[in-house]
Amino acid sequence: MNELKLFSGTANPELAQKIADKLGVEVGELTIRRFSDGEVHARAGQSVRGCDAFIVQSCQTPVNEHLMELLVIIDSFRRASVRRVTVVMPYFCYSRQDKKLKPREPVTAKLVANLLTTAGANRVLTMDLHSGQIMGFFDIPVDHLYSGPIIADHIKNNIPLDNAVVVSPDVGGVTRARALAEVLGTPIAIIVKRRPEPNKAEVIELIGDVSGKTAIMFDDLIDTGGSIIGGADALLERGASEVYAACTHGLLSGDAIQRLAVSAIKKLIVTDTIPMPQGGDGKIAVVSVAGLLADAIGRIHSECSISEIFDKVWKARS
């Protein structure tokens, strides 16, 4: 009873296996199939009665398929009398729809929170939400992890920092970029832009000095790549010597990888919250968050503090 059991949906089984290896457990047997009309069916191949179940499932493209699959898995576990279901959702879908900006718009991030809770999730473990307010959409505990320390380590080991500046690609990401800049010991700059429509961005102004500096743009996610590529061009026009980019969630929709390959960005650093397809002409470096997620899962299972992970990690790097 109360045994830790780890399961994976179809969205990112590679990450689930890495987490399992870190924890020293096996990925549980879970059969997921689709009927001819597209309906999802899920069934654990072992007893989960009374166990502490963790389900690893990011919800990237196809978003609705992966989300519905996750809801079905949660429901099947709840009906199998698990003690607790923790959804390990490294990338939280619909996170950009977190507020109502125009009349008759939905707040879909809140809807997803409601769906997970109603399906039977007892707890959610996620990474780098698009905005912190999403945690308040839940009526169950949410543990929010940050990839900053992992990305900071990679940057320190691979990018010269003697004349570098961390750049927030928009005003909303200033807190995230400032935290990384403090760990790296660099100044910060901010790109001010406007979005005339979804997935379209125009640079209006740059706050801070990038002239002659190595610019490192840091964001929570990159989707089509238009904003980050446009930001890189704007930085070079304002005197930056070279531009790197980093993000937690590399959605890289459509032809984003091809566009990045021919862009001015020297290197893009992403984590494995979402599986990375091949390509990018060697410009994409992937760092794993498996160790961080495994540490958090172990702490949740043993009822230990999650915040201590970052208390000791940030102190060690600052």
Give the phi and the psi of residue 282 in degrees, each rounded to 5: 75, 10
Does the annotation mark 193 as catalytic? yes
Domains identified in the chain, total number: 2
> Which one-letter amino acid corresponds to residue 103?
P
Q: State pLDDT tens for residues 150-178.
A: 999 999 999 999 999 999 998 888 999 99
Q: Are residues 211 and 228 in the same domain?
A: yes
Listed residue (125, 131, 24) closest to 70, CA to CA: 125
Q: Any idea what DSSP says for residue 105?
A: -
Q: What is the pLDDT of residue 98?
A: 95
Average pLDDT over residues 65-87: 98
- Specify the pLDDT at position 128: 95
The reply to whether 157 and 273 lie within a common domain is: yes
CATH code, domain with 114: 3.40.50.2020
Judgement on whether residues 236 and 130 belong to the same structural domain of the protein? no
One domain for residues 189 and 267:
yes
* Domain around 23: 4-146+291-317
Instruction: Indicate whether 43 and 162 sit together in one domain.
Output: no
pLDDT band at 307 (very low <50, low <70, confident <90, very high): confident
Claim to verify: residue 269 and residue 296 sit in the same structural domain: no
Q: Which two tokens stand for residue 128?
A: 């780098």
- Whether 200 shows a pLDDT value over 70: the answer reads no
Q: Calculate the average pLDDT of the chain.
A: 92
Smallest CA-to-CA distance from 123 within 87, 72, 169, 80 is with 87
Both 8 and 142 in one domain: the answer is yes
The pLDDT, as a whole number, for residue 172 is 85
Distance CA 25, CA 22 (A): 8
42 and 114 in a common domain:
yes
Q: How many of the other CB atoms lie within 10 Å of CB of 84?
A: 16
For residues 20 and 91, membership in a common domain is answered with yes
Say whether both 163 and 266 belong to one domain: yes
Confidence of residue 316 (pLDDT cuts 50, 70, 90): very low
> Is 306 found in the same domain as 197?
no
- Of 193, 213, 267, 283, which is the active-site residue? 193
pLDDT score of 227 = 87
* Cα dihedral sign, 120-113-93-312: negative
Three-state SS for 151? helix
pTM: 0.92
Q: If pLDDT is split at 50, 70 and 90, which confidence band does 310 have? A: confident
